[in-house]
């Protein structure tokens, strides 16, 4: 059973471009969480999704950021018009029952905005 798969592992974007981060949850998991880790900081919750639904987006910046988890395929975190401050590691976690206490994390996507 493969773990949570994130790709790409590293992503470089110029200011103003779009970044798309993908997350495939563990087999049998239908709940996905996205966290952001800024340099020298802990992880901060961004959004929680179930298949085709956003359940909690209380941690998402109001502009430029969006997330989806379609019926088929991976969850996508999309950042439009990236700025230098978006440079961070973005981690996805998945769980089978929708509780954060049972979530497993992927290896992350490290976004660098130049």
Partner 1 sequence: QQQVKQSPQSLIVQKGGIPIINCAYENTAFDYFPWYQQFPGKGPALLIAIRPDVSEKKEGRFTISFNKSAKQFSLHIMDSQPGDSATYFCAATLTGANNLFFGTGTRLTVIP
Strand pairing report for 31-37 and 43-50? antiparallel
* Pairwise CA distance, residues 10 & 51, whole Å: 26
Contact status: 100 vs partner 1 (CB under 8 A): yes
Contact status: 65 vs partner 1 (CB under 8 A): no
Asked if residues 79 and 18 have their Cβ atoms less than 8 Å apart, the reply is yes
Asked if residues 13 and 84 have their Cβ atoms less than 8 Å apart, the reply is no
Asked if residues 1 and 104 have their Cβ atoms less than 8 Å apart, the reply is no
The piece of 14-22, 43-51, 70-78, 79-87 that touches partner 1 (CB under 8 A) is: 43-51
Among 48, 69, 82, 111, binds partner 1 (CB under 8 A): 48
Contact status: 55 vs partner 1 (CB under 8 A): yes
Among 11, 29, 33, 88, binds partner 1 (CB under 8 A): 33
Residues making contact with partner 1 (CB under 8 A): 4, 6, 33, 35, 40-45, 48, 55-56, 59, 91, 93, 98-101, 103-108
């Amino acid at each position: 059973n493969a773990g949570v798969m994130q790709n790409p592992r590293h992503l470089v974007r110029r200011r103003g471009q779009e970044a798309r981060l993908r997350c495939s949850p563990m087999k049998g998991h239908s709940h996905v969480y996205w966290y952001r880790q800024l340099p020298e900081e802990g992880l901060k919750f961004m959004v929680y999704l179930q298949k085709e639904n956003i359940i909690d987006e209380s941690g998402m910046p109001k502009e430029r950021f969006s997330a989806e988890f379609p019926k088929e395929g991976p969850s996508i975190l999309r950042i439009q018009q990236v700025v230098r401050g978006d440079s961070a590691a973005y981690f996805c976690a998945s769980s089978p029952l929708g509780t954060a206490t049972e979530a497993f994390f992927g290896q992350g996507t490290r976004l660098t905005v130049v």
